Amino acid sequence: MIWTSEMEPVVIDDTTVGAAVGVAARAHASRRALIDGPSAKAVSYAELARRTERIAAWLYADGLRPGECAAIWAPNLPPVAACTLAAMGLGAPVTCLNPTWSDDEVDAQLADADATVLVVAPDLADRARSFGVRRVVVLGAAAPGAVPLAELLASRADPPQLEIDCDSIALLPYSSGTTGLPKGVMLTHRQLVTVGRQLVRALSVDDHDVTLAVAPWFHILGFTAELLVPLMAGATIATTPRFDPDSFLTQIDRYQVTYLAGPPPLASLLADDPRVLDHDLSHLELIASGGAPLAPGTHEALVVRLAGCAVGEGWGLTETSGAICIPTRPAGTAPGTVGPLLPNTELRVVDPVSGAELGPGLDGELQVRGPQTMLGYLHRPVETAEMITAEGWVRTGDLGHVDHTGTVVVVDRLKDLIKVNAFQVAPAEVEAVLVQHPAIIDAAVVGRPDERRGEVPVAYIVTDCQVDAGEITDWLAPRLAAYKQPADYYRVDQLPRTPSGKLLRRQLGDRVGAER
The structural domains of the chain, ordered by start, are: 16-401 (3.40.50.12780), 417-515 (3.30.300.30)
Rounded distance between C-alpha atoms, residue 292 and residue 312, angstroms: 12
- Rg of the chain taking only CA atoms, in angstroms: 23
Give which of 195, 192, 174, 172 is closest to 183, Cα–Cα: 174
Query: Given the DSSP bridges, would you call strands 488-491 and 454-463 parallel, antiparallel or unpaired?
Result: parallel
Question: Which residue, 61, 78, 55, 52, is CA-closest to 148?
Answer: 55
User: Residue 169's closest CA among 387, 376, 388, 385?
Assistant: 376
Please state the length of the chain. 516
Cα(442)–Cα(268) distance, integer angstroms: 11
| DSSP of 431-460 | HHHHTTSTTEEEEEEEEEEETTTEEEEEEE
The predicted structure's pLDDT at residue 405:
86
Contact 435, 472 (CB under 8 A): no
- In this structure, what is the dihedral angle of CA atoms 134, 139, 143, 144, given to the nearest 10 degrees? -10
The residue type at 357: E
The CA distance from 60 to 160, in Å, is 7
Which pLDDT score, from 0 to 100, does residue 194 have?
A: 98
CA distance 353 to 37: 50
d(C-alpha 326, C-alpha 16), whole Å:
23
pLDDT at 507: 80
pLDDT given for residue 116 in this prediction: 97
- Say which DSSP state 379 is in: T
Q: Are 235 and 209 within 8 A, CB to CB?
A: yes
How far apart are the C-alpha atoms of 459 and 222, rounded to whole Å? 30
Contacts 24+ apart (CB under 8 A), 244-251: 245/269, 245/273, 245/275, 246/275, 247/37, 247/38, 248/212, 248/214, 249/273, 249/275, 249/276, 249/278, 249/279, 249/281, 250/279, 251/37, 251/212
Q: Give the DSSP letter string of 302-341.
A: HHHHTTT-EEEE-B--GGGTT-SB--BTTTB--TT-B-PB
**DSSP secondary-structure letter at 11?**
P
Least Cα distance to 183 among 170, 172, 192 occurs for 172
Helix, strand, or coil (residue 501): coil
Across-strand partners of 172?
A: none
Measured over the CA atoms of residue 26, residue 27, residue 29 and residue 32, the dihedral's sign is negative
Rounded CA gap, 39 and 500, in Å?
25
pLDDT tens-place values along the chain, 516 residues long? 999 999 999 999 999 999 999 999 999 999 999 999 999 999 999 999 999 999 999 999 999 999 999 999 999 999 999 999 999 999 999 999 989 888 888 998 999 999 999 999 999 999 998 898 999 999 988 888 899 999 999 999 888 999 999 999 999 999 853 345 689 999 999 999 999 999 999 999 999 999 999 999 998 999 999 999 999 999 999 999 998 999 999 999 999 999 999 888 889 899 989 999 999 999 999 999 988 788 888 899 999 999 889 999 999 999 999 999 999 998 999 999 998 999 999 999 999 889 999 999 999 999 999 999 999 999 999 999 999 999 999 999 999 999 988 899 998 878 887 878 767 788 888 898 999 999 999 999 999 888 778 789 999 999 988 899 999 999 999 988 888 999 999 999 999 887 667 788 778 866 665 555
**Is residue 411 helix, strand or coil?**
strand
Secondary structure of 102-134 in HEC code, one letter for each residue: CHHHHHHHHHHHCEEEEEECHHHHHHHCCCCCC
